[in-house]
């Protein structure tokens, strides 16, 4: 089994489509990137460690906050800490949200908050969990880190940065270079990145992987077919068929499916039976047991249009070259730059960036991420190697032929 399409529960989902639409539905489902709880926590913790290693002084700490919705007051974004818009900020912090995986409205924030709590308990001299201004000042915090699972539209992070920006003390500290703001996300979509460029507070965004979307995963006629499918199912959907703000995210976490994924994956409108009912992943738990390397192999097979890539991906002498070929194949399929390659292949952003740089150095990719003539020749060489070889009869594998000819 590889991904969602191999689940027994997926077969019920497929039966809701007309026979002529089922192949497109399967094609869409096979592009959903699944993130297990282990991969999620490992990726986030690795980025937190990275930020912690950048402290200018070892006795300074970093402050970790789970992304949360900011409620407007009389139509305006409030200061993140009470009574801190003007003057010296004082007081305790805002407590993290309560973990409740069954309530997807706070589920992801709760999972992140729990991860933050565990990290801070294990590293009390390095990190603080959701501290207030008094604690920030006392521990001479060097970085304020906002953590989330996915930057989709970027709305929540934008509002949170706006809210932090209304704290006069924090604005002052940043202007003097005392603190830095860092956003950590497991995945980030291109349009979310773009939106955050206009955030009112200077910050840096770091993500483990890029977020695949229907816009990056499909091209040409295949994309048109997927668009039509999302508009057609579920019947008479409420809201945008591509999810919140038309995100079209093709990613699901073991703790749930984001609301900016196509509605046919999670909506229950008009008695539709989704893969992720209520945006929880409880009905698809077994799919998240698939190893990340298995997912990469499956994606690479589809991109390279071959069925025997497994042995070559496992070959110790060719792993780097084959990773570069996967990057070339993703680029040939329309991915531009490390973020889109990361989203297309489901590999870490740092890994995608390394292989992208190698392909550029080999002159297989242009500066704009397009496959060059040399790159096309290299892909052609790989595909030629992967073609089925002719089989000749031998003692161990003789061809069958009749030894006697009989009259009919």
- Using DSSP's 3-state secondary structure scheme, residue 17 falls into coil
Tell me which of 266 and 403 has the higher pLDDT: 266
Tell me which of 103 and 146 has the higher pLDDT: 146
Mean pLDDT of 348-353: 86
Question: For the segment 293-331, what is each residue's pLDDT rounded down to a tens digit?
Answer: 566 666 666 665 554 544 554 454 466 777 888 888 888
Residue that is last in its domain, among 225, 255, 289: 289
- What secondary structure letter does DSSP report for 4? G
How many separate domains does the chain show? 3
Residue 392: band (very low, low, confident or very high) from pLDDT cuts 50, 70, 90:
very low
Task: Please say if the pLDDT value at position 51 is more than 80.
Answer: yes
In CATH, what number is assigned to the domain containing residue 85?
3.40.50
Phi, psi of 249 (to 5 degrees): -65, 135
127-129 and 33-35 beta bridge pairing: unpaired
Residue that is last in its domain, among 289, 318, 349: 289
If asked whether residues 60 and 123 sit together in one domain, one would say yes
If asked whether residues 205 and 283 sit together in one domain, one would say no
Instruction: Determine the pLDDT at residue 401.
Output: 43
Q: Which residue has the tokens 């959903």?
A: 32
404 in a domain, yes or no? no
Q: Is the dihedral of CA 175, 127, 94, 193 positive or negative?
A: positive
């Amino acid at each position: 089994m590889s991904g969602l399409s191999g689940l027994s529960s997926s077969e019920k989902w497929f039966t809701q489509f007309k026979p002529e639409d089922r192949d497109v539905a399967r094609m869409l489902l096979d592009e959903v990137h699944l993130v297990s709880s282990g991969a999620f926590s490992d990726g986030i913790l690795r980025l937190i460690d990275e930020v912690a290693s950048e402290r200018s002084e070892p006795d300074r700490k970093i402050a970790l906050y789970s992304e949360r919705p900011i409620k407007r007051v009389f139509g305006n974004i409030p200061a993140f800490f009470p009574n801190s818009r003007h003057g010296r900020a004082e007081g305790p912090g805002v407590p993290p949200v309560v973990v409740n995986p069954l309530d997807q409205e706070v589920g992801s924030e709760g999972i992140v908050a729990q991860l933050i709590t565990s990290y801070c308990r294990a590293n009390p001299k390095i990190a603080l969990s959701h501290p207030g201004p008094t604690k920030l000042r006392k521990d001479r915090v060097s970085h304020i880190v906002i953590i989330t699972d996915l930057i989709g539209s970027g709305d929540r992070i934008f509002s949170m940065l706006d809210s932090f920006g209304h704290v006069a003390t924090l604005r002052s500290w940043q202007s003097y270079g005392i603190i830095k703001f860092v956003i950590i996300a497991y995945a980030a979509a291109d349009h979310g990145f773009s939106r955050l460029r206009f955030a009112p507070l200077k910050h840096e965004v770091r993500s483990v992987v890029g977020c695949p979307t229907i816009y990056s995963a499909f091209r040409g006629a295949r994309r048109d077919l997927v668009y039509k499918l999302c508009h057609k199912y579920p019947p008479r959907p409420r809201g945008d068929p591509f999810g919140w703000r038309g995100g079209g995210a093709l990613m699901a976490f073991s703790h749930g499916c984001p609301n900016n994924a196509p509605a046919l994956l999670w909506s229950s409108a008009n008695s539709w039976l989704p893969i992720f009912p209520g945006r929880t992943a409880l009905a698809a738990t077994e799919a998240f047991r698939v190893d990340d390397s298995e997912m990469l192999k499956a994606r690479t097979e589809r991109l390279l249009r071959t069925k025997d890539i497994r042995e070559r991906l496992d070959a110790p002498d060719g792993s780097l070259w084959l990773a570069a070929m996967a990057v070339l194949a993703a680029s040939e399929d329309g991915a531009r730059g490390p973020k889109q390659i990361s989203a297309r292949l489901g590999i870490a952003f740092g890994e995608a960036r390394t292989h992208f740089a190698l392909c550029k150095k080999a002159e297989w990719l242009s500066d704009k991420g397009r496959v060059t003539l040399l790159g096309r020749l290299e892909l052609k060489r790989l595909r030629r190697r992967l073609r089925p070889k002719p089989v000749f009869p031998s003692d161990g594998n003789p061809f069958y032929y009749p030894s006697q000819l009989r009259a009919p």
